[in-house]
């Protein structure tokens, strides 16, 4: 069946993360970071949201649009980093640090968000943490993003021992080698990278930040320190510029195929469901974060 006709018939919108396969990016109604996607979908009058990404992204879409049907084309598309944070361990850490506030990255499960004081993205993590009066912050779950935030605040960041394997495995030596090959290239890396990689960069950005910077920059060449799927979008939107990837791949992000997308639209399955209490409790820290972003 024709995809456009199928979308119209189901009154559906397709969201795709920047790390998705090219054929998925090409048919998406909205392409971007996970939170921006969920926010975009919440503003539409569609009945169905198809999330081409991983599990926590579909949950976030449902949290912000609880009256809509949210579908994830493959339930096996999970985020290993999000799975590193469990409610039991977080409750224990909160008891150990009773004066600390919990800042959870959007790359967490709905259960973790529901136990948090406020959420953050990789783009606004520093601002969110600095907006809090508490001197201690439990930062969940990405250790490297937490270390990056620590550079900009005197607050004590209590790090969760989690990581994104894709960004962890980008090495300083890779970046230096690419820079030797492309001496005029600007180095853009994600804050989930290790401190050593961040120290080699000209700029540290979320994927959305990289997209904006590449458009505005006078440079014609860029070394991109994040998942390789972003380079497809960057090249497509900036055909006169060159982008050099670290060839870092998230196998989870690649589980959504065009065939699975079509099947999920036809059947409206697999559908994401969450308890009403979790939706309600998880929405509050997300909304707090969005208010901080507007200040």
Distance CA 119, CA 286 (A): 5
So what CATH class is 81-163+281-294? Answer: alpha beta
Return the pLDDT at 5.
93
Q: What was the pLDDT predicted at 292?
A: 84
- Domain 3-78+253-273 is classified in which CATH homologous superfamily? NadA-like (3.40.50.10800)
Model's pTM, two decimal places? 0.94
**Statement: residue 138 has pLDDT above 80:** yes
As a whole-number percent, the residues of the chain with pLDDT over 70 amount to 99
pLDDT, tens digit, for every residue of 57-81?
A: 999 999 999 999 999 999 999 999 9
Give residues with Cβ within 8 angstroms of 225, minimum separation 6: 167, 170, 175, 187, 188, 189, 190, 193, 197, 201, 246, 248
Q: Provide the 3-class DSSP secondary structure of residue 225.
A: strand
Q: Across-strand partners of 174?
A: none
- pLDDT (tens digit per residue) in 179-203: 999 999 999 999 999 999 999 999 9
Average of per-residue pLDDT across 87-112: 97
The token duo for 260 is 């699975």
Report the greatest alpha carbon distance in the chain. Answer: 56
CATH (one of 3.90.380.10, 3.40.50.10800, 3.10.20.90, 3.40.50.150) for 170-245: 3.40.50.10800
Query: Where in the sequence of the chain do the CATH 3.40.50.10800 domains occur?
Result: 3-78+253-273, 81-163+281-294, 170-245
Kindly state the DSSP code that residue 207 receives in the 8-state scheme: H
Is the pLDDT reported for residue 293 higher than 80?
no
């Amino acid at each position: 069946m024709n995809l456009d006709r199928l979308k119209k018939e189901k009154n559906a919108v397709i969201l795709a993360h920047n790390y998705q396969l090219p054929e998925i990016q090409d048919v998406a109604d909205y392409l971007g970071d996970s939170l921006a996607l969920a926010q975009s979908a919440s503003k539409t009058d569609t009945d169905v949201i198809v999330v081409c990404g991983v599990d926590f992204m579909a949950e976030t879409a449902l949290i912000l649009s609880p009256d809509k049907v949210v579908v994830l084309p493959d339930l096996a598309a999970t985020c290993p980093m999000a799975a590193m944070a469990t409610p039991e361990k977080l409750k224990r850490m909160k008891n150990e640090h009773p004066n600390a506030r919990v800042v959870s990255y959007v790359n967490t499960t709905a259960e973790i968000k529901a136990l948090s004081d406020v959420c953050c993205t990789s783009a606004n993590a520093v601002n969110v943490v600095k907006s809090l009066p508490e001197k201690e912050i439990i930062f969940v779950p990405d250790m490297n993003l937490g270390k990056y935030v620590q550079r900009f605040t005197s607050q004590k960041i209590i790090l969760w021992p989690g990581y994104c394997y894709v960004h962890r495995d980008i090495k300083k030596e890779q970046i230096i080698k690419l820079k030797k090959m492309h001496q005029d290239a600007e180095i853009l890396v994600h804050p989930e990278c290790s401190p050593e990689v961040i120290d080699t960069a000209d700029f540290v950005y979320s994927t959305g930040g990289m997209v904006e910077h590449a458009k505005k920059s006078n440079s014609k060449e860029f070394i991109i320190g994040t998942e390789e799927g972003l380079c497809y979008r960057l090249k497509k939107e900036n055909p006169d510029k060159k982008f050099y990837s670290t060839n870092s791949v998230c196998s989870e992000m690649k589980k959504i195929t065009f065939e699975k997308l079509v099947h999920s639209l036809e059947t409206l399955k697999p559908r994401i469901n969450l308890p009403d209490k979790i939706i309600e409790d998880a929405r509050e820290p997300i909304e707090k974060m969005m208010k901080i972003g507007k200040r």
